[in-house]
A and B are shown apart, each in its own frame.
Chain A
Amino acid sequence: MNSFDILKIVLVLIGAPILGCLIAGIDRKLTARLQGRVGPPLLQPYYDVVKLFKKDNMIVHPAQNFYVVIYVVFVILSLLMLVFGMDMLMIIFVYTISSVALIVGGMSTGSPYARVGSSREIMAILSYEPILILYALAIYLLTGTFKLSALSTLSSPLLAYIPLIFISMLFVMNIKFKKSPFDYSTSHHAHQELVKGMLTEYSGPGLGGIEIGHFYEYVFLLGLMFMFWSSNIIIGLLLAVIAFLFVIIMDNITARVYWQWMLKVSWSILLIISIANILIVYYFYFKPA
């Protein structure tokens, strides 16, 4: 590990939450404008986090906030692995641990709302995970390795080979950003039915930690979209912005649905077009070693 790598790590650790905070702020501002409101200041998510760290720490049991630490650490780890172009399959596994940490944390509190939210989050993981795995598989078929750094050896950008998986990934973004119509595991808008879902029993510093984890997670998820055109930074960023705007617009024009509906959509339409894309890649581009 040379000094340039260390600089990269420091940059990610400091820069990613700032970027994620701005992303969350733009999200709230845009949503407000789409609803004809003035909306909060751009730095509102930052104010929220600072406030949460000033509040009392009210927990159900001591292990509860430890799950938050696991969540944040593994999200940062998966983001770092993405930045260093490591094994895509490993990134997915590490990222899954972070999601599972929140689920276990929610389940451990014993609140019925947290349990409902956690079990719905399991359904969400069930519906997006196959698409992520197919994304990794497509990278393997094209380059002969799961390493993201091998993407630079391709003659054209990833989007040219797997446009259908790109469409599926847009919906995965929607699920992972926890935006409508898939915002049923935890949401600002669902108090009547599930209070705060998975995060019901978190308060103060614990919730602040989760918010910081979300900032890293936003950057990580948009980084996954960036990988579709990683050879050109500007077009790659443009893809990330398109994915982000897609998520916000979908959030504002759709209503929350049953989890069964989401499972049907992802396991029928999204999975089928992804598999079709894999078959195309397999027959036209795959060169067995």
Chain B
Amino acid sequence: MTRIRSMLLLAMTLSGLSGLGNVYAAEAVEGSAKFEKLDQCVEPTSVMRRNHFEFIKHQRNLTVHQGIRGSKHSLAGCVDCHARKDTEGNFVPVNAEGQFCDACHDYAAVSPDCFSCHSTVPGEK
């Protein structure tokens, strides 16, 4: 029991630390992301849950090597739709604790590498 409790405490401390240094001020506001106003993602939800990484891996090769940027699947598209805003109207990174990407990836203990290079908030448009 104590072991589980100490592990929980450690996890909480670590996740707290990772939140440091981000620019967003406050809590993300529910309903502030584009996807929350839409019926469906670019594919049915069950398909997206199972295959989103295949889609964006395929797309990344097409974009980098062939210059195709108008495709249905794109990481920039994921971020654009799934990033929420905080109370001050600033975007909260999609991979921040409890946000769209983190929510499942944390549970599944899979750490996506995308955001060591890619932007975590929607781009200028």
Same complex: no
Interface residues of B (CB under 8 A from A): none
Interface residues of A (CB under 8 A from B): none
